[in-house]
Amino acid sequence: MFDRFFPDDYKMSTYVIPFEQLYEEGYKGVIFDIDNTLVPHGAPADDRAKKLFTRLENIGFASCLISNNQEARVKMFNEEIQTNYIYNAHKPSTKNYKKAMEIMGTDETNTLFVGDQLFTDVWGAKRSGIHNILVKPMHPKEEIQIVLKRYLERVVLHFYKKKQKKRPSR
C-alpha cells in the first residue's frame, strides 16, 4: 500500500551518487533540491557542493536547483555554483519539474531528480515521470512541519527497505 510513495533509489548522501555511471546510462540532466540534500538547511554552498557541480559540468550534465524556499536563499546558495534555479517551486506540484527540464533541454526519459523529502521532492518527481533518488537528510534539526512528515517518511521507508531486502541488490 505504500509502494506508490517509494523512491526509485535511496542513497545515504547526494555525494555518493555515481553520476558518471548514470551519464553513461543516458541521463543528461539533474534536478536538485537544496536544503538537506546538498547542504544543511539554510547553509551556503560549501567546497563539497562546489566540487560536485564542477564534476557534473565536466561529465556533461545540465543541472537545475528547485527549491520551495524564497529567492534570497536560493540565490545565496547558487552564488558560487552558478547553475539554473527555480525558487518558490511549490513541490510536489509538477509544474516546476517540467520547467526545470525545459531550462536544461532534457525530458523525463533522461532527467534525474535528487532530494531528501519523500512527500514533496520525490512525490513531485515521480508524478513528473522523472527518475528520482531519495537521499538521507543532512541535518537532523528541522521545522516542526518537516518533523511530522519525517515520521510518515519513516513508515514508508520501513516498507521500502523491507522490499529491498527481498530482491537482489544492484
Write the DSSP assignment of 98-130 as a string of letters: HHHHHHHT--TTSEEEEES-IIIIIHHHHHHT-
Q: How many CB atoms lie within 10 A of CB 113?
A: 29
Closer to Mg ion by Cβ: residue 110 or 121: 121
Closer to Mg ion by Cβ: residue 110 or 120: 120
Q: Check if the beta carbon of residue 35 is closer than 8 Å to that of residue 67.
A: yes
What's the closest the beta carbon of residue 38 comes to Mg ion, in angstroms? 9
What's the closest the beta carbon of residue 51 comes to Mg ion, in angstroms? 20
What's the closest the beta carbon of residue 66 comes to Mg ion, in angstroms? 10
Q: Check if the beta carbon of residue 148 is closer than 8 Å to that of residue 117.
A: no
Closer to Mg ion by Cβ: residue 35 or 153: 35
**φ and ψ of 35, to 5 deg:** -70, 125
Whole-number Å distance between alpha carbons of 64 and 30:
6
What's the closest the beta carbon of residue 41 comes to Mg ion, in angstroms? 7
What's the closest the beta carbon of residue 33 comes to Mg ion, in angstroms? 4
Closer to Mg ion by Cβ: residue 33 or 153: 33
Q: Which residues bind Mg ion (CB under 5 A)?
A: 33, 35-36, 116
Name the burial class of residue 79, with classes exposed (0-12), middle (13-18) and buried (19+) by CB atoms within 10 angstroms of its CB: exposed
Closer to Mg ion by Cβ: residue 36 or 110: 36
Distances (CA, A) of 112 to 24, 33, 104: 13, 11, 12
Whole-number Å distance between alpha carbons of 35 and 76:
12
